[in-house]
Amino acid sequence: MRARRSGADASAPDRLDLRAKTTIPPVRAGTVPRPGLVNRLRAANGHRLVTLVAPAGYGKTTLLSQWAERDARRFAWVALDGGDEASTLLECVTAALSRSDPIDEDEAHRPGRRSRASGAARLSSLLDGLAEPVVLVVDDVQAVRSSSSAAVLATLILHMPSGSTLVLSGRELPELPIARLRADREVFEVGVEDLALGRRDAQLLLRGVQPELETVADELWERTEGWAAGLHLAGLVLRDGTGHRRPVAEFTGDDRFVVDYFRLEHLSQLDPADVAFLTRSSILESMCGPLCDVVVAGARGAPGGSNPRRTGHHR
């Protein structure tokens, strides 16, 4: 068992953690290629910031791995998780940049040896001293919760060298100073509509699950609206071990595969109050603030009242 660190070193990643957090994920065999999107990202090399924002299962990390294989620039990669603090983020970014540029790795990988302020200064020095342009990817950026961690990202955004690009990928972005960059056309933004698979991509994905599913790809594509994880789960649900395809009507969304995915990837990330709201309001075919308040009032044990997070009309 690894000894528990104490004091300032408690949150600092060890060398093994750094290696795992800063390794570019390989493109898995059978992954649907996205050459159109990859080429758009390669052509965005004049932008200081690239953002990929979409819910889980839209292939953000896969797309970035494909981009890393095709771009002439060096890639540096940082994968975050919910337990990372600002000091960890600084260490990981420093280590990732060090691995993409020929500098002293031993010095860059020493966790917990310097204060946060000196770490920021060291990071600034690394950015200024990059020998060639780099693409720095920060994946799962929704894990950034603290203002100090957001400040590290803000420093990266504002100080990326010319020719280099910062990529922030996740389910949502923290509050960051990008309004001016967006107005100056220095931000290239990729969202759900871009990441959703097209009909041909859906056929390729389902063919990899079971060739017989390709004949119903259009119907499943419409049901899932191009959501890659949904298409794959649908393929698993409809795949028959005897080589026969089950009817598409049997994919209703309440299969164990889909339920497990939503529980782990979506519901587990929400506050209990939000889960209760979603559960009780799910019976509604159309939604508005007052109607949702009536439905969930019983669970709260209080009269329904307008909630600013639920105000408005939705379908």
Q: Which domains are assigned to the chain?
A: 7-195 (3.40.50.300), 199-265 (no CATH), 273-314 (no CATH)
Model confidence at 303: pLDDT above 50: no
87: left (phi over 0), alpha (psi -120 to 50) or beta: alpha
Q: Which amino acid belongs to residue 205?
A: L
pLDDT digits (tens, 9 = 90+) for 171-219: 999 999 999 999 999 999 999 999 999 999 999 999 988 888 888 999 9
Residue owning tokens 């990899």: 208
Listed ranges 209-213, 222-226, 274-278, 291-295; the one with the highest mean pLDDT: 222-226
Q: Are 209 and 215 in contact (CB under 8 A)?
A: no
Structure confidence at residue 240 as a pLDDT band (50, 70, 90):
low
pLDDT digits (tens, 9 = 90+) for 118-157: 566 777 788 888 889 999 999 999 999 889 899 899 989 9
* Residue 263 burial (C-beta neighbours within 10 Å; 0-12, 13-18, 19+): exposed
pLDDT digits (tens, 9 = 90+) for 1-59: 333 344 444 455 666 688 889 999 999 888 999 999 999 999 998 899 999 999 999 99
Q: Are 136 and 164 in contact (CB under 8 A)?
A: yes
Residue owning tokens 């939000």: 274
* Residue 219 burial (C-beta neighbours within 10 Å; 0-12, 13-18, 19+): middle
C-alpha–C-alpha distance, residues 91 and 260, integer Å: 34
Residue owning tokens 């990441």: 195
> CA angle 281-282-286, nearest 5°?
80
C-alpha–C-alpha distance, residues 252 and 277, integer Å: 22
pLDDT at 116: 47
pLDDT at 85: 86
Q: For all residues of the chain together, what is the average pLDDT? A: 81
Model confidence at 239: pLDDT above 80: no
Model confidence at 115: pLDDT above 80: no
Question: How many Cα atoms sit within 13 Å of 310 on the Cβ side?
Answer: 20
Structure confidence at residue 72 as a pLDDT band (50, 70, 90):
very high
CA 258 to chain centre: 19
Structure confidence at residue 265 as a pLDDT band (50, 70, 90):
confident
